[in-house]
């Protein structure tokens, strides 16, 4: 099981983003959650999933914006699960707490904690992908998000009014395809860490 503990960075210096982000994540059908995101402290939220792809996807999506510290705890949780995340307990919850603390100073502001060495390997890959994502230009992000939606490079070019070669250049400069493959590797490592 995977527990995500997510803390808003510099929350005293900016508006509270927890409520709006929780609402968006809880409604997003891409991310199946066993327990929905719930506010656990003033600027912190937490959720539980049994999907490594969901844990990695949410972590990377939030890390790209640079406004969150994301901790992923890997391990068992006390079953049956309670009706809300705040009442959850177990190793994955404890590890998520350790991870979010480590994430505050970690590359990409992502940390993973689990009993297996694979958790550390997943963390390294996620940190690398998050660090690359933060350095992408807005043009690269624009093209990459459209490709992630399933559009071909030619369709992206038509939508943006640019050449297919320009789309290819934007994806190349943002290491879009490489990061997608690295994220898939991180998912496999997280699955192994929870095996």
**Contact indicator for 153, 147 with CB cutoff of 8 Å:** yes
What is the reported pTM?
0.92
Query: What single DSSP character describes residue 34?
Result: S
**For residues 126 and 59, is the Cβ–Cβ distance under 8 A?**
yes
Beta strand segments in the chain, E:
2-8, 35-41, 44-49, 68-74, 110-113
Token output for 171: 């994806």
In sequence order, the 6+-apart residues with CB closer than 8 A to the CB of 164 are 153, 154, 157
- Taken in order of first residue, the domains within the chain and their CATH numbers are 2-116 (3.30.70), 138-174 (1.10.10)
Tens-place pLDDT, residues 123-153: 999 999 999 999 999 999 999 999 999 999 9
**Residue 127 · residue 108 · CB < 8 Å:** yes
What are 71-87's pLDDT values in tens digits? Answer: 999 999 999 999 989 89
């Amino acid at each position: 099981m995977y527990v995500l503990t997510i803390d808003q960075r510099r929350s005293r210096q900016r508006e509270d983003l927890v409520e709006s982000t929780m609402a968006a994540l809880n409604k997003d059908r891409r991310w199946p959650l066993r327990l929905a995101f719930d506010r656990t402290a003033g600027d912190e939220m937490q959720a539980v999933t049994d999907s490594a792809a969901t844990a990695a996807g949410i972590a990377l999506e939030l890390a790209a914006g640079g406004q969150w510290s994301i901790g992923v705890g890997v391990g068992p949780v006390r079953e049956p699960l309670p009706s809300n995340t705040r009442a959850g307990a177990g190793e994955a919850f404890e590890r998520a707490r350790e991870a979010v603390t480590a994430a505050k100073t970690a590359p990409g502001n992502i940390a993973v904690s689990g009993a297996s060495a694979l958790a550390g390997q997943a963390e390294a890959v996620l940190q690398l992908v998050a660090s690359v994502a933060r350095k992408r230009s807005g043009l690269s992000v624009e093209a990459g998000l459209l490709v992630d939606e399933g559009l071909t490079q030619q369709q992206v070019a038509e939508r943006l009014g640019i050449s297919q070669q320009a789309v290819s250049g934007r994806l190349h400069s943002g290491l879009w395809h490489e990061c997608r493959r690295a994220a898939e590797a991180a998912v496999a490592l997280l699955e192994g860490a929870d095996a």
